[in-house]
Amino acid sequence: MSIVKINVVTMPEDKRARFEERFKGRAGAVETTPGFEWFELLRPVAGTDSYLVYTRWTSQEAYEAWQTSQDFDRAHDGGGDTLAPAAERSQQHVWSYEVVESAAPKGS
């Protein structure tokens, strides 16, 4: 059964563009990790300042292995970017779910 981890990150409006650029720059950091299934960065539209960082994994063990990997460290070190500490100081937490049911368009 797959699991979903949603990292909720509150980001001030004046830091959002750089926050999104950092995610674009991390492309490839997680995609080859065993057990990884999906990633999406969801931008707040109205009524909230919270981004949702959605990842889907084959198991809790796969997610935990990613968290303790060198690839995880490299993806989260900020590369000297001053936004990384700002994100760490922002309000954030992780929601965890098990996938009970999912659907895709027919033929996909």
pLDDT tens string 46-75: 888 899 999 999 999 999 999 998 878 777
The one-letter code for the residue type at 69 is S
Pairing assessment for the beta strands 36-42 and 50-57 based on DSSP bridges = antiparallel
Which phi and psi (to 5°) does residue 50 adopt?
-95, 125
Please report which confidence band the pLDDT of residue 98 belongs to, taking 50, 70 and 90 as the band edges.
Answer: very high
Tell me what percent of the residues of the chain surpass a pLDDT of 90.
Answer: 48
Q: Look at residue 83 in the predicted model and tell me its pLDDT.
A: 52
Dihedral angle at the C-alpha atoms of 5, 6, 8, 14, nearest 10 degrees? 120
Half-sphere exposure of 55 (CA within 13 A, CB side): 20
**CA distances for 33 relative to 6, 38, 60, 84, angstroms:** 17, 11, 13, 22
Please report which confidence band the pLDDT of residue 96 belongs to, taking 50, 70 and 90 as the band edges.
Answer: very high
The 10s digit of each residue's pLDDT in 41-52 is 999 998 888 999
SS3 category, 50: strand
The 10s digit of each residue's pLDDT in 4-43 is 999 999 988 888 999 898 888 776 778 899 999 999 999 9
Task: Enter the CATH code of domain 3-98.
Answer: 3.30.70.100
